[in-house]
Amino acid sequence: MATSNYPIGILQYIPFFYVIWSDDLLSASEVSVVKKTIEDDPILNPDEKKQLLLWLNREQPPTEQEFKRWKQTIASSKVKLVESDTYPLAFLSQRLGNAYCDQCDFNEHLKHIEINLGIQPNHYNHLFDVEVEHEKTSNLYNAASFDTLLKGNHSAEIDAFRTFLNQDIFKWSILRDKDAFRNKVLKQVSLLGEKGYGAMAYPKPYGGTDNMPSYAAIFEHLMFVDGSLAVKFGVQFGLFGGSIQKLGTKKHHDIYLGDAGKAKLLGCFAMTETGHGSNVRGIRTTATYDKKTDSIIIHTPGQNDNKEYIGNALHSKMASVFAQLIVDGKNEGVHAILVPLRDENHDLLKGVTIKDNGYKLGLNGVDNGKIWFDQISVPRENLLDKYGEIKDDGTYFSTIKNPNKRFFTMLGTLVGGRICVAKGALGGAKMALAIAVKYALNRRQFNDSVKIQEDLIMDYPTHQLRLTPAVASAYVYHFTLEEIMQRYSNDAQVDKRKIETQVAGLKSIITWFANSTIQECREACGGKGYLLENRITDLKGDVDIFTTFEGDNNVLLQLAAKGILSDFKAEFNSAGFTSVLKLLRTQLSDKLSTINPIYSNKVDSEHLYNSKFHRHAFDYRTRRLTYTLAMRIRNYIKKGIPSYQAFLKVQTHLLALGKAYSVDLAYQTFSEYCTTIPDEKYKSLMQKAGALYALNELHIDSRWYLEQGYFGGVKSKAIRQRVERLSTELRPHIEVLVDGFGIPQHCLTAPITK
Residue 675 dihedral angles phi and psi, to the nearest 5°: -65, -15
Whole-angstrom Cα distance, residue 327 to residue 335?
A: 12
Predicted confidence at residue 581, as pLDDT, reads 56
678 within 8 A of 528, measured Cβ to Cβ: no
Tell me, yes or no, if the pTM score tops 0.85: yes
Average pLDDT over residues 510-538: 97
In this predicted structure, which of 28-42, 612-626, 654-668 has the lowest mean pLDDT? 28-42
CATH number of 268-413: 2.40.110.10
Predicted confidence at residue 340, as pLDDT, reads 98
Predicted confidence at residue 685, as pLDDT, reads 95
pLDDT tens for 361-394 read 999 999 999 999 999 999 999 999 999 999 999 9
Average pLDDT over residues 48-73: 87
Q: Which residue has the higher pLDDT, 472 or 124?
A: 472
Q: Mean pLDDT for the chain? A: 89
26 within 8 A of 56, measured Cβ to Cβ: yes
677 within 8 A of 686, measured Cβ to Cβ: yes
Report the amino acid identity of residue 597. Answer: P
Whole-angstrom Cα distance, residue 148 to residue 674?
A: 14
Give the residue among 332, 322, 333 at the shortest CA–CA distance from 239: 322
Q: Which residue has the higher pLDDT, 518 or 65?
A: 518
> Is the model's pLDDT at 295 over the cut of 80?
yes
> Is the model's pLDDT at 454 over the cut of 50?
yes
In this predicted structure, which of 30-34, 180-184, 534-538 has the lowest mean pLDDT? 30-34
Beta strand residue intervals within 463-596, DSSP E? none
Give the DSSP H/E element, type plus range, for residue 376.
strand 376-379
- Known catalytic residues are 550
> Is the model's pLDDT at 412 over the cut of 90?
no
> Is the model's pLDDT at 241 over the cut of 90?
yes
Whole-angstrom Cα distance, residue 600 to residue 607?
A: 11
Give the residue among 3, 13, 95 at the shortest CA–CA distance from 48: 13
Whole-number CA gyration radius for the chain: 30
> Is the model's pLDDT at 676 over the cut of 70?
yes
What DSSP character marks residue 307?
E
**DSSP secondary structure letters along 692-741:** HHHHHHHHHTHHHHHHHTSS-HHHHHHHHHHHHHHHHHTGGGHHHHHHTT
Other Cβ atoms closer than 10 A to 677: 17
Average pLDDT over residues 212-231: 97
pLDDT tens for 186-203 read 999 999 999 999 999 999
Whole-angstrom Cα distance, residue 104 to residue 705?
A: 50
Segment of 46-55, 72-81, 555-564, 696-705 carrying the highest mean pLDDT: 696-705
- Three-state SS for 149-177 is HHHHHHHHHHHHHHHHHCCHHHCCCCCCC
> Is the model's pLDDT at 441 over the cut of 50?
yes
For residue 319, list its beta bridge partners: 268, 339
Segment of 194-208, 407-421, 591-605 carrying the highest mean pLDDT: 194-208
> Is the model's pLDDT at 741 over the cut of 80?
yes
10 within 8 A of 55, measured Cβ to Cβ: no
Whole-angstrom Cα distance, residue 469 to residue 521?
A: 12
What DSSP character marks residue 293?
T
Domains in the chain: boundaries: 8-133, 268-413, 417-739
Other Cβ atoms closer than 10 A to 152: 17
Whole-angstrom Cα distance, residue 368 to residue 394?
A: 36
Q: What's the maximum distance between 2 C-alpha atoms anywhere in the chain?
A: 107
Give the residue among 138, 101, 275, 259 at the shortest CA–CA distance from 194: 259
> Is the model's pLDDT at 572 over the cut of 50?
no
Can you state the percent helix, strand and coil of the chain, rounding each to 5? 60, 10, 30
Give the DSSP H/E element, type plus range, for residue 670.
helix 651-674
**DSSP secondary structure letters along 73-114:** HHHHTT-EEETTSSSHHHHHHHHHHHHHSS-PPP-THHHHHH
Average pLDDT over residues 127-136: 63
Predicted confidence at residue 74, as pLDDT, reads 84
468 within 8 A of 731, measured Cβ to Cβ: yes
Strands 131-133 and 80-82: parallel
- Three-state SS for 573-630 is CCCHHHHHHHHHHHHHHHHHCCCCHHHHCCCCHHHHCCHHHHHHHHHHHHHHHHHHHH
> Is the model's pLDDT at 573 over the cut of 50?
no
Inter-CA distances, 103 with 95, 99, 100, 574, Å: 10, 9, 9, 81
User: For the chain, how far is it from start to end, CA to CA, in angstroms?
Assistant: 43
pLDDT tens for 521-534 read 999 999 999 999 99
Residue 268 dihedral angles phi and psi, to the nearest 5°: -135, 170
Predicted confidence at residue 589, as pLDDT, reads 58
Give the DSSP H/E element, type plus range, for residue 326.
strand 318-327
Report the amino acid identity of residue 153. Answer: N
* CATH level 3 topology of 417-739: Butyryl-CoA Dehydrogenase, subunit A; domain 3 (1.20.140)
Whole-angstrom Cα distance, residue 105 to residue 83?
A: 21
> Is the model's pLDDT at 256 over the cut of 90?
yes
Average pLDDT over residues 420-424: 97
577-599 burial, b for 16+ CB within 10 Å, e for fewer?
Answer: beebeeebeebbeebeeebeeeb
pLDDT band of residue 138 (cuts 50, 70, 90) is confident
Average pLDDT over residues 100-107: 71
> Is the model's pLDDT at 323 over the cut of 50?
yes
Instruction: Give the list of residues 6+ apart from residue 173 with CB closer than 8 angstroms, or none.
Output: none
297 within 8 A of 377, measured Cβ to Cβ: yes
Predicted confidence at residue 586, as pLDDT, reads 59
> Is the model's pLDDT at 294 over the cut of 50?
yes
299 within 8 A of 288, measured Cβ to Cβ: yes
Strands 318-327 and 267-270: parallel
> Is the model's pLDDT at 322 over the cut of 90?
yes
Instruction: Give the list of residues 6+ apart from residue 710 with CB closer than 8 angstroms, or none.
Output: 595, 600, 617, 620, 621
Whole-angstrom Cα distance, residue 52 to residue 47?
A: 9
Give the residue among 216, 739, 276, 147 at the shortest CA–CA distance from 507: 216
In this predicted structure, which of 259-268, 277-286, 290-299, 683-692 has the lowest mean pLDDT? 277-286
For residue 334, list its beta bridge partners: 324
Predicted confidence at residue 571, as pLDDT, reads 38
Given CA atoms 147, 150, 153, 156 in this order, what sign does their dihedral have?
negative
> Is the model's pLDDT at 579 over the cut of 70?
no
Predicted confidence at residue 570, as pLDDT, reads 45
556 within 8 A of 618, measured Cβ to Cβ: no
> Is the model's pLDDT at 153 over the cut of 70?
yes
Using DSSP's 3-state secondary structure scheme, residue 676 falls into: coil
Average pLDDT over residues 244-257: 97
> Is the model's pLDDT at 635 over the cut of 60?
yes
Average pLDDT over residues 482-493: 89
Predicted confidence at residue 591, as pLDDT, reads 52
Predicted confidence at residue 96, as pLDDT, reads 84
pLDDT tens for 712-727 read 999 999 999 999 989 9
Average pLDDT over residues 120-139: 62
717 within 8 A of 601, measured Cβ to Cβ: no
> Is the model's pLDDT at 451 over the cut of 60?
no
pLDDT band of residue 575 (cuts 50, 70, 90) is very low
Whole-angstrom Cα distance, residue 658 to residue 208?
A: 35
Give the DSSP H/E element, type plus range, for residue 323.
strand 318-327
pLDDT tens for 387-407 read 999 999 999 999 999 998 898
Predicted confidence at residue 1, as pLDDT, reads 43
Q: Which residue has the higher pLDDT, 84 or 349?
A: 349
Give the residue among 304, 298, 305 at the shortest CA–CA distance from 320: 298
Beta strand residue intervals within 107-249, DSSP E? 131-133
Predicted confidence at residue 27, as pLDDT, reads 67
Average pLDDT over residues 466-494: 93
